[in-house]
Amino acid sequence: MYVRSKIVVANWKMHKDLGEGLRLATEVIQMLHNQVKDKVQVILLPPFIHLEAISKLLPTAGPIHLGAQNCHEHAFGAFTGEIAAPMLRSVGASFVLIGHSERRHYFGEGSALLAQKVSIALIYGLRPIFCCGEVEQTCTVAWQENFVEEQLATSLFHLSAEQIAQVIVAYEPVWAIGTGRTPTPTQAQAMHQFIRYIIASKYGEEVASSIPILYGGSCDTENARLFFTRPDVDGGLIGKASLIANSFVTIVKSLE
Ligand code: 13P
């Protein structure tokens, strides 16, 4: 059977000036040198303006890659202040985060726009890391599943099987982001299994079983291993704990 990659992603969000970012990336690269297990990939998502400088620090072949936290839905044009997918490729990014809840919430990004962003990313050779997750902790499992299914269907299911096989899914319950609260590993596993089932219903088992599904939301050095040992949890999307090299490296090393 095809073994999908294990992946840990560092989402720095809007943190670190250039000097701080270079220091953090250097520390992570040094600490992970020869320490990353087979089939494990590490992806750093610094702010856009640090991408080029950090790409120069990365060994050309190796398990550490670069991505961006967002991209525009068009390839170029009169969109002042925006950044396009081919620009990101040209400065060393090979991944892009799409549909993070902070983009959905603060910048009003909806399903149709996110579907366009996923498509443009794929056209320009960026692998999308697509975020989904329910907003409320208190709703029923059925409600949470419907919510996530709708997010997947409206932003990913226009893709061909070859295209969706390039996508990484990140399940981030919004109520768990930056709050110190998390679902139990059993609850996270159940949602990951459901996500894989929904993808399989549309694209078949083989495609669904090849797609990495990451957990995000207050994932830290204490709980990472508990999530990562579940069969459908293929790694993590890490916010706060990715801003300290030691913590992030500990999380990467907790992947089996
Ligand atoms: P925290 O790890 O800080 O909860 O953030 C999660 C997140 O939003 C990663 O994209």
Is residue 241 assigned to a domain? Answer: yes
Instruction: Round to whole Å and give the CA distance between 48 and 70.
Output: 9
Dihedral of CA atoms 169, 4, 71, 113 in degrees, nearest 10, equals: -40
Question: Which ligand 1 atom sits closest to the C-alpha of 102?
Answer: 8
Instruction: Round to whole Å and give the CA distance between 104 and 82.
Output: 16
Please name the helix (run of DSSP H) or strand (run of DSSP E) that holds residue 116, with its range, or none: helix 111-123
Question: Which ligand 1 atom sits closest to the C-alpha of 178?
Answer: 4
- What CATH code is carried by the domain that includes residue 37? 3.20.20.70
Pocket test for ligand 1, best of 13, 102, 179 (most atoms within 8 A of CB): 13
Sign of CA dihedral 22, 44, 14, 228: negative
Task: Indicate whether this model's pTM tops 0.85.
Answer: yes
Is residue 135 assigned to a domain? Answer: yes
Is residue 41 assigned to a domain? Answer: yes
Ligand 1, CB cutoff 6 Å, lining residues: 11, 100, 172, 177-178, 216-219, 237-241
From first to last of the 256 residues of the chain, give the pLDDT tens digit: 456 999 999 999 999 999 999 999 999 999 999 888 888 999 999 999 999 999 999 988 889 999 999 999 999 999 999 999 999 999 999 999 999 999 999 999 999 999 999 999 999 999 999 999 999 887 899 999 999 999 999 999 999 999 999 999 999 999 999 999 999 999 999 999 999 999 999 999 999 999 999 999 999 999 999 999 999 999 999 999 999 999 999 999 999 7
239 CA → ligand 1 middle, Å: 3
Amino acid at 135: V
- What is the pLDDT, as a whole number, of residue 2? 59
Pocket test for ligand 1, best of 11, 96, 104, 135 (most atoms within 8 A of CB): 11
120 CA → ligand 1 middle, Å: 25
Residue closest by Cα to atom 9 of ligand 1: 239
Instruction: Round to whole Å and give the CA distance between 69 and 78.
Output: 21
Is residue 49 assigned to a domain? Answer: yes
Instruction: Round to whole Å and give the CA distance between 55 and 64.
Output: 10
Is residue 110 assigned to a domain? Answer: yes
Question: Which ligand 1 atom sits closest to the C-alpha of 219?
Answer: 2
Please name the helix (run of DSSP H) or strand (run of DSSP E) that holds residue 104, with its range, or none: helix 101-106
Question: Which ligand 1 atom sits closest to the C-alpha of 177?
Answer: 4
What are the residue numbers of the active site? 100, 172
Quote the domain boundaries for residue 25: 6-253
Is residue 20 assigned to a domain? Answer: yes
84 CA → ligand 1 middle, Å: 24
Total count of domains within the chain: 1
Is residue 1 assigned to a domain? Answer: no
Sign of CA dihedral 61, 50, 246, 10: negative
